[in-house]
Amino acid sequence: MKRELFDTDHELFRESVAEFLKREATPYHAEWENEGIVPREVWHKAGEVGILGLGVPEEFGGSGVADYRFNAVVTEEVCRAHTSGLGFSLHNDVVAPYLVDLATAEQKARWLPGFCSGELITAIAMTEPGAGSDLQGVQTSAVRDGDAFVLNGQKTFITNGINADLVIVVARTDPEAGAHGLSLLAVERGMPGFERGRNLDKVGLKAQDTAELFFSDVRVPAENLIGQVNQGFIHLMDNLPQERLSIACSAVASAEMMLAETIEYCKERTAFGRPIGKFQNTRFVLAELATEVDIARTYVDRGITLLNRGELTVDDAAKAKWWTTELTNKVMDRCLQLHGGYGYMMEYSVAKAWQDARVQSIYGGTTEIMKEIVGRSLGL
């Protein structure tokens, strides 16, 4: 179906992003996958062309326009370029709202210019070895001591974890208050006691640095508190709908990309004397996928419109997140099957896309948690 979400400014921005990726990312991505990390220089170059700092006020070097459609353009083009190692969406879509909406004037002046230029790479650390979707199970602690919080604990599966210069850490500041005893602390590179563990060896997203983080008596200045003390859970709940919509944007764009490539493959690949796309089973599989991807695209585009109006609800975002990510895994699996043995070879893009897609129904809240959110919204 024809999309009606974007206007001329967004399409011009899309051309700019696509050209950047073609020039600065696609030719080098295989090398980054082997190294398990994207060079920092790529972030600097992205900042120079305005890909970072979307929605950040112009005074700090940002776009100055709070319009999530620009964020969606970046996500879509990164997927189409097969450059899954770039952590731009985590930076722009997930971390930015905390710094723009909750940071003090002093914090904004300290962090946002580098955030927009690519000099300061960010991450957010929620997940722990014993606490994933259940944020109430967070054990990392922060005890107030004079003009600082003393931070102790461990985080894992942290995107941008190796490159990050600023990590927003979810920590327990009131051990007796459950979900209402969490706070957000900004931990900066070089703080004594802050160490990075392994760059984790994942099934997919090989070029994306995903790390363990360790905090041993890290003295985090009180002025690095993000938002209000003991209000961290509320701050997270306010921002999780945008994070989940961002994942849905990536899921649908990835599905569209691989579906289009598979259709072309089925036109060219022959079996029993004719293109495999001429077989009824192939046509039926692709027809089903094309229909479901179109439906998912329509829902996600509507979600973007509602987000821009401040009307996207927690359960709307949960529906988008679980449905689109499960669909993407289905699309990748069916597309790989249509490629036959070649689909299992890493030299074919469908194999990498299949690997990369699998985590989408896990991070940002598992499918099971998303269904629980939706179920509760029904009064059940």
What digits encode the pLDDT tens for the residues 174-230?
999 988 999 999 999 999 999 999 999 999 999 999 999 999 999 999 999 999 999
How many CB atoms are closer than 10 A to CB 142?
27
Q: Are residues 71 and 147 in the same domain?
A: no
Sign of CA dihedral 217, 219, 225, 228: positive
From the candidates 243, 256, 311, 347, which is the catalytic residue?
Answer: 243
- Any catalytic annotation for residue 11? no
Are 42 and 91 in contact by the 8 Å Cβ rule? The answer is: no
CA–CA dist 248, 296 (Å, integer): 9
Is the full-model pTM beyond 0.85?
yes
Q: Are residues 238 and 221 in the same domain?
A: no
CA–CA dist 14, 356 (Å, integer): 23
Q: How many CA atoms lie within 13 A of 131 on its CB side?
A: 18
- Going by their DSSP bridges, the two strands 166-172 and 122-125 should be labelled as parallel
Q: How many structural domains is the chain composed of?
A: 3
Instruction: Output the pLDDT for position 136.
Output: 79
1 part of a folded domain: no
Sort 234 into a burial class: Cβ within 10 Å, 0-12 / 13-18 / 19+: middle
Q: Are residues 147 and 175 in the same domain?
A: yes
Q: What is the mean pLDDT of the chain?
A: 97
Which residue among 120, 147, 165 closes a domain? Answer: 120
2 part of a folded domain: no
- Residue type for position 263: I
128 part of a folded domain: yes
Q: Are residues 218 and 282 in the same domain?
A: no
> How many residues would you count in the chain?
380
Sort 99 into a burial class: Cβ within 10 Å, 0-12 / 13-18 / 19+: buried
Residue 370 clears pLDDT 90, i.e. is over it: yes
Which residue among 120, 147, 179 closes a domain? Answer: 120
Structural domain boundaries, residue 39: 8-120
